[in-house]
Structure 1
């Protein structure tokens, strides 16, 4: 079934982007002209336009047979650019953490049902994390994933992880969503998330959120320690460093009500 539907799906995607490109070249255009330009049937062109209109990417000029792009593409592009700016803003704060404790620091965000690393600065120790920018890890077993999910409702978390298999990476990894939901309540109260050897044996992580100007948690900054270098007595110092970094980045993004 998958093999037979894939070419049709690819063709549909190409049609959508061809329509978007054509609409971007002029303010408004009619179905007949657009279908001729793209060498598509008028019925097919109309069907795609109506779907794109329903999704908010295209608007119809009154009752006329004219269509134009909305600002939704700009909104989507702005979100992508926001992450580009975010890396630059976070880099300085991450360097400050490295200078203070010399442990690996990550910047990560949620992408579908995983976290993805947007930026990383390594410690100078030989023993360190083998992660990389662009790598994905599960939400349920990472400090970044937990702190970002803590800003969602329980229903949103359950929906997000509905199709996720909870793999037992270590003996400490959550086996299902119930203990995770319980832990997220604590994360909300303390404003930081932890990975206590849940993703990799011998590795601990602490993460705090970064907010955009609307107060949405769009990313998280984490510090990772081999357990042999983690000093429990300095845990609050680590958290304070992370919160200072998260607060500073959030303020540069326009959010001035950091919770800690």
Structure 2
């Protein structure tokens, strides 16, 4: 690395990021060990560390020959994430799904004891789900509601729905929280939620979660189909498209451990 043929400025940038990566892998490390790991001279390693220390990215453990990262990188990363727009990110992924299967795609989240639609891309078919951004629907009869509640424990679900009346929108709608909780166990295992004509007759929906950088489910992406156009043989394809979208949005939000 000392004899890199790259321009000096580029070589220096590479050295800085190699040092940062090495420090990120270990809580603290000495100059000698770090220089050996990166195959840089001890003098060069020390010079870079002192500069990074002056800039606040590295701290020295007392007078010891040990260095560690500060939280300044985390601070910078957090500021970058503040400018990430969930709807813009989701729109890109939702458009990909819409282009492939031409059905209505929603982005929704929990608001109090309901789901609320944050964004949508309509199907071009005349027969499609009628909804609007800002509209609310029940948690217990929607795929978005189920997949988001599946990340809660039983008592959280019970508390959330304590004052909710379970209305029988169709013959398939859950009648009480106990019925719903049984299904949430399955949703939790399979990592997607379904509405099989529970909210509206003749309508099916599938939804997957979107996670923030802390791994908390902050929204869900769903696809809605009239039952006459839902192809059971393509169900796994639909789910895979949704999971790809959910994973991509989550990663842009800073979460890299999507479960599927």
Shift of 1:83: 11
Aligned position for 1:145: 145
Judged with a 3 Å threshold, the aligned counterparts in structure 2 of structure 1 residues 83 and 159 are, in CA distance, closer, same or farther, namely farther
Aligned position for 1:167: 167
The correspondence of residues 14-29 of structure 1 with structure 2, limited to 5 A, is none
Aligned position for 1:87: 87
Aligned position for 1:256: 256
Instruction: Specify the SS of the correspondent of 1:166.
Output: coil
Shift of 1:249: 0.1
The correspondence of residues 211-230 of structure 1 with structure 2, limited to 5 A, is 211-230=211-230
Aligned position for 1:133: 133
The correspondence of residues 44-123 of structure 1 with structure 2, limited to 5 A, is 85-123=85-123
Rg (Cα) greater in structure: 2
Take 2:177 and 2:88, find their aligned partners in 1: how far apart are those partners? Answer: 34
Aligned position for 1:179: 179
Unaligned runs of 5+ in 1: 1-77
Judged with a 3 Å threshold, the aligned counterparts in structure 2 of structure 1 residues 88 and 173 are, in CA distance, closer, same or farther, namely same
Instruction: Specify the SS of the correspondent of 1:173.
Output: coil
Instruction: Specify the SS of the correspondent of 2:209.
Output: strand
Aligned position for 1:195: 195
Instruction: Specify the SS of the correspondent of 2:159.
Output: helix
TM-score w.r.t. the length of structure 2 is: 0.68
Unaligned runs of 5+ in 2: 1-77
Deviation track 1:157-211 (CA, whole Å, cap 9, x = no partner) reads 0000000000000000001111100000000000000000000000000000000
Superposed structure 1 runs of 4+ greater than 2 Å apart: 81-84
Deviation track 1:113-133 (CA, whole Å, cap 9, x = no partner) reads 000000000011000111000
TM-score w.r.t. the length of structure 1 is: 0.68
Instruction: Specify the SS of the correspondent of 1:228.
Output: coil
Judged with a 3 Å threshold, the aligned counterparts in structure 2 of structure 1 residues 222 and 82 are, in CA distance, closer, same or farther, namely farther
Shift of 1:84: 7.9
